[in-house]
Structure 1
Amino acid sequence: MQPTVKALDITVADLGAAISFYQRLGLEFVPDQHMPDDHAGCDLPNGLHLMLDTDDLRTKTTADWTPPATGRTFLAFELASPGDVDAKYAELTAAGVTGLQEPFDAPWGMRYATVADPSGNGVDLYAGLPADPTH
């Protein structure tokens, strides 16, 4: 039997700060009724579920786990246009979010930028660049 990816789990230092951050990107997390201070989930399109777990919960449920010094997870959010990438990056950094990479035109044909969520996990913002009409 082949495993099926149904959920992604991001470990965060502060659940409330993470929920607030991801709300700015259009995600609505619901705290778990059994552990509202340590776990929240968000249903995504196509049946995928995104979860946030606190470092405290992860250390209780995973033997020998310790939080990394910096995030190792990158979520990528597609936006409608290159201008939207610039606007969302400006909005987030103006709100105090740490910018990791200012918007740039990537050689793979996208406008790309990266910020950090409150726990240091990377969040990419991207949109396709218009096709070059000379080619």
Structure 2
Amino acid sequence: MSISARLDVIGIITADMAAALAFYRMLGVDVPAGADGEPHVEASLPGGLRLAFDTEATIGSFVPGFTPPAPGGRIGLAFLLDDPAAVDAAYAELTAAGHHGELAPFDAFWGQRYATVQDPDGNGVDLFAPLPAEARTP
């Protein structure tokens, strides 16, 4: 038997909707204006996917016995940036705005400029861009 399905929505459970939306807006996600106080918010992503945010209370309203996940155990996302300098700039901007820098930008052995910041719920958000061929380590 084969299941016919396609990935359509990536969901994030958040303790603070306004803080989560502000963070993802900084990364260029087109979150609807005025959505900060809503219990459920969706943003369309390139390629047809949607990114959905639900408050812990929303999930608790239909999942019996729901216990919010521990910080950092909710999801992991990775954002492709234009070039290595953009990774450094995004990391600097996000950490200057008060978001925790989990992994400062570095040239990864797999050929990317790579960094990780945490969103307001402690989820790791990776920032990456391919390194120029001459900068890659063999």
Q: Normalising by structure 2, report the TM-score.
A: 0.88
4+ residue segments displaced more than 2 Å: 30-33, 132-135
The count of residues paired between Structure 1 and Structure 2 equals 133
Secondary structure in 1 aligned to 2:98? coil
Question: 1:64 matched to which residue of 2?
Answer: 65
In proportion to residue count, which structure has more strand? 1
Question: 1:122 matched to which residue of 2?
Answer: 124
Question: 1:26 matched to which residue of 2?
Answer: 28
Kindly report the root-mean-square deviation, in angstroms, between the aligned alpha carbons of the 2 structures. 2.1
Residue 84 of structure 1, aligned match among 67, 86, 91: 86
CA deviations on 1:20-49 (whole Å, 9 max, x unpaired) are: 11110011223798xx52111100111101
Secondary structure in 2 aligned to 1:93? helix
Question: 2:53 matched to which residue of 1?
Answer: 52
Query: Residue 133 of structure 1: CA displacement?
Result: 7.8
CA deviations on 1:89-114 (whole Å, 9 max, x unpaired) are: 00110110111100011111101000
Query: Residue 132 of structure 1: CA displacement?
Result: 2.3
Q: 1:8 to 1:31 in 2, by over 3 A?
A: farther
Query: Residue 71 of structure 1: CA displacement?
Result: 1.9
Q: Normalising by structure 1, report the TM-score.
A: 0.90
Contact 1:14 1:118 in 2 (8 A): yes
